[in-house]
Amino acid sequence: MHAYLLIGSNHAKIKSQIKSLATNKTLAPFNLEKIADVRELQKFTKLSVKSKTAIIINKFENATPEAQNAFLKILEEPQPNLEFIVIAKNSHNILPTILSRAQSVRVGESGLTKKQIEKASEFWGSKKAQKLEMIKKIKNRDGAKLFLEIIIKGGQQNLNKNFDQANSLEAAIYTLDAINKNGNVKLQLTNFVVNGC
């Protein structure tokens, strides 16, 4: 694996995980939020790297979708001595295509409960009519956020097995973002089910 995504907010545990992953490697910290940042990174990755090097990218959840898409192209053309350690507080704003090409490591997080995993599996395995029935039960913004977080996390766990789900997962992430920005809850959820999955 040449790319790792460390998800969590415990700095001490993340630092320890980086140390473990980057043993005997040169560390190269890099900020990546905009397309211009990716262009700078591309200049470096086009060079031939002689010693094993780990590029550390912090706060990846702040990277724009355009920057993430451009970064994806770098991930798809790996160099033998180069690897990436990408750090994000959460995976909500990270494109599913990035998630599928990096080994995700949840640092200091418990993840989903068994019941939540079952709920996510039930949603992703249902037909549109059943999904619409499920979202009818959601009464408020907090409930919608929790529901989307569960199906996003559950979907990410199965992404390697079902890559076709990537677009639906991306739609769920955008829906959560829209609800976080005070979008109409019922409208956003309905639009997600009808058009996104």
**Higher pLDDT residue, 95 or 9?**
95
Domain spans, the chain: 3-106, 114-196
Class for domain 3-106, per CATH? alpha beta
In this prediction the pTM is 0.58
pLDDT tens track for 109-144: 546 778 888 888 899 989 999 999 999 999 898 889
pLDDT, mean of residues 177-187? 88
pLDDT tens track for 37-51: 999 999 989 888 889
pLDDT, mean of residues 69-81? 89
All residues at 6 or more sequence positions from 62 whose CB lies less than 8 Å from its CB, including other chains:
33, 93
| Residue whose C-alpha is closest to residue 53's, from 88, 17, 78 | 78
The reported pLDDT for the residue numbered 161 is 54
The one-letter amino acid code at 171 reads A
Cβ pair 107, 8 in contact under 8 A: yes
The reported pLDDT for the residue numbered 57 is 97
| Residue whose C-alpha is closest to residue 143's, from 151, 94, 54 | 151
**Token pair belonging to 100:** 């599928």
- Cα–Cα dist 65/44, whole Å: 21
Cβ pair 151, 124 in contact under 8 A: yes
The reported pLDDT for the residue numbered 147 is 92
- Cα–Cα dist 35/19, whole Å: 28
- Cα–Cα dist 147/108, whole Å: 22
| Residue whose C-alpha is closest to residue 122's, from 163, 150, 90 | 150
Maximum distance among all alpha carbons in the chain? 57
Extended beta strands in the chain, E state = 3-7, 26-30, 53-57, 82-88, 103-106
User: Which pLDDT band holds residue 1 (cuts at 50, 70, 90)?
Assistant: low
